[in-house]
Amino acid sequence: MKLIKSLTILAFLLILMCALAACSSGSGGESEGNANDGEQAKDGSSQEKVKLVYARGRDTTGATQKIVDSFNKSHENIEVELREMPADSGKQHDAYVTMLNAKSSEIDVFDIDVVWPAEFAQAGYTLPLDRFIQKDNVDLSKYNQGALSAAQFNGKQWAMPRYVDAGLLFYRKDLVDQVPKTWDELTAQAKKLQGKKGTDFGYVFQAKQYEGLVTNVVEYVASYGGQILNEKGEVVINSDDTIQGIKKLVEIANADYVPGNITTFTEVESETAFIEGESVFIRNWPYQWALANNKEKSEIAGKVGVAPLPAGDEKSAAALGGWMAAINKYSEHKQASWEFLKYLTGPEGQKIMAIEGGKAPSYTPLFEDSEVLEANPFFKNEEFVKGLDAAVSRPVAPNYQEISEIIQVSVSKAIAGQVSVEQAVKNMEKELKAALK
C-alpha cells in the first residue's frame, strides 16, 4: 500500500511539473515584441516558412514589388506577398481602420501617411518598434529627423520612414540672380521680377482651404520659431512667433505679386502656372523639378532652380510629407514582420525605391550613393538636400484630421480679412484645446 501511495504521489508531481513547464513556455504570448512565429532562427526568421502580407497603395513604378522580390530572395524562411490598397489615401486610411478595428491579422506590415502614426498608435492598431530598434542597434541618427519625429507618439516610435517629401522653393534661373534667403527677400524679388519675360506673377503657392494650406502654415510658423503643438502634444499656438509667421503668410497671400484667386490654388493650379511660365517663384513638393524640366509639358525646361524655402526670423522650415511603414499589432508574425520592415525602410529597401521609384530616401547616407545619384541627378543638388533636412512634421495628434480642419478654417478667415491674425490664433487655441481633451 505504501508503495502504491508513493508511486501515486510521484506521478502527481511529474504531471504538475509538466503543467508548470508548459505554462512557463507559453507565457508572454501577448507581449509587444513576441514573434509568434514558432521556432526562431538567428536571423529572426522562422525555421518553418512564414508568410507575410505587406499592404500599400498602388505603385506604378514597380519599385515596391522589386523590394519584396529582393527580400524574399535573401530571406528563405520568410515570404512576403504584396497587397495593393486603394490609390486614394483617404480610402486607403478607411480600409485600414475598418480592418484593424476588427483586430484583423490579414495584413502584417503596411504603409501609412506621415499624419497617421499618432492616430493609429492611439487606436492600438500598430506595434511600438523601440524594442526591435534597440535589439538590432538600428542607427536612427542616419534617418531624416523630421520624418522620424512624425512617427513618434507618447515617447515611442510607431513606424519607420520609407521616403520623404518636403516643401521647396523653385525659381526661374533665367530671371533670378540671387536666391532669396528670407521671406522679406522673396517679397522684394517677386515684386521686382513680376512681369519679366512674360510672367504674370512673382510667386505662387497653395492657399486653398485644404490640407495644402496647413503645410504652408506649418512652414511659416516654424520659420519664425513658433509651434502649433509642442512635443508633449500641448497647444502652444498662441505665441508671438506663431502670430508673426501667420501674419507673413496672410501678407503674401494678399500681395499684388500673387494671383488674385490664390485661395483657389492647390498643387495643380500652382504647378501649372509655373511650368507655363507665368510665375517667377513657386513653393511646391520635389516632384515639381521633373515636371518643370519635362520638355513636352513645360515651357521653362532647363531654366529651373531649387532651394530651401525662405527663412523667417528663426530658420528655413519645410513641411514634411512622404510615407512610412508600420507593423499591425494583431499580426501573428511580429518578429518576421520586423525583419521585413527593417529591410523595407533600411538602406537596402530605400535604395531600390530611390533608383526604381525616384523617391527621396529618408535614410540620408543614400544621398552619397553613386548608383542612387546616377538614377537621380537631382539628388546631387545640395540645396535640395538642405531643403529636406529642414523638414518639420505637422502637428502630431491622434485626431489629426480634426486639428487640420480647425487650422484650415481659421487661417482662411484671416487671409480673407474676416478676422485678424491675433483673433484667428485665439480661436485656434480654444478649438484645438477642446479637440485634444
Cα 106 to Cα 111: distance, rounded to the nearest angstrom: 14
Q: What is the pLDDT of residues 346-373, one digit of tens each?
A: 999 999 999 998 899 999 999 999 999 9
Residue 47, pLDDT score: 65
**Whole-model pTM?**
0.77
Quickly count: other Cβ atoms within 10 Å of residue 207's Cβ. 27
Of the candidates 358, 294, 298, 346, the residue with the CA atom closest to the CA atom of residue 60? 358
Cα 116 to Cα 104: distance, rounded to the nearest angstrom: 18
Domain at 166-320+393-435: CATH code: 3.40.190.10
Largest separation between any pair of C-alpha atoms in the chain:
112
The class of domain 50-163+321-391 in CATH terms is: alpha beta
Kindly state the DSSP code that residue 45 receives in the 8-state scheme.
S
Q: For 356-404, give the DSSP string.
A: HH-PEESBGGGGG-HHHHHH-GGGG-HHHHHHHHTEEPPP--TTHHHHH
Average pLDDT over the chain reads: 89
Residue 330, pLDDT score: 98
Question: In the predicted model, what is the mean pLDDT of residues 222-245?
Answer: 96
The continuous run of DSSP H or E covering 111 comes out as strand 109-113
Pairing mode, strands 318-327 and 156-157: unpaired
Question: In the predicted model, what is the mean pLDDT of residues 226-254?
Answer: 96
Find out whether 402 and 408 touch, Cβ atoms under 8 Å. no
pLDDT at 5 over 60: no
The full set of domain ranges for the chain reads: 50-163+321-391, 166-320+393-435
What sign does the CA torsion over 246, 264, 288, 306 have?
negative
The continuous run of DSSP H or E covering 317 comes out as none
Q: What is the pLDDT of residues 47-81, one digit of tens each?
A: 689 999 999 998 878 899 999 999 999 999 999 99
Quickly count: other Cβ atoms within 10 Å of residue 147's Cβ. 30
Cα 147 to Cα 99: distance, rounded to the nearest angstrom: 26
Cα 342 to Cα 356: distance, rounded to the nearest angstrom: 19
Cα 161 to Cα 173: distance, rounded to the nearest angstrom: 33
pLDDT at 322 over 70: yes
Pairing mode, strands 360-361 and 160-166: antiparallel
Residue 25, pLDDT score: 37
Pairwise pLDDT comparison (187 vs 13), residue with the higher score? 187
pLDDT at 238 over 50: yes
Q: For 85-101, give the DSSP string.
A: EPSSHHHHHHHHHHHHH
pLDDT at 299 over 50: yes
Q: What is the pLDDT of residues 14-45, one digit of tens each?
A: 444 444 444 433 333 334 444 444 334 444 44
Residue 35, pLDDT score: 44
Whether 50-163+321-391 and 166-320+393-435 share one fold: the answer is: yes
Residue 4, pLDDT score: 46
Q: Among 1-10, 19-28, 58-67, 255-264, which is the least confidently predicted range?
A: 19-28
**Helices and strands (H and E) in the chain: how many:** 17, 13
Order of strands across the sheet that contains 168-172: 201-204, 279-284, 168-172, 304-307
Q: Among 122-126, 257-261, 311-315, 383-387, which is the least confidently predicted range?
A: 383-387
Amino acid at 271: E
Q: What is the pLDDT of residues 144-179, one digit of tens each?
A: 998 998 899 999 999 999 999 899 999 999 999 999
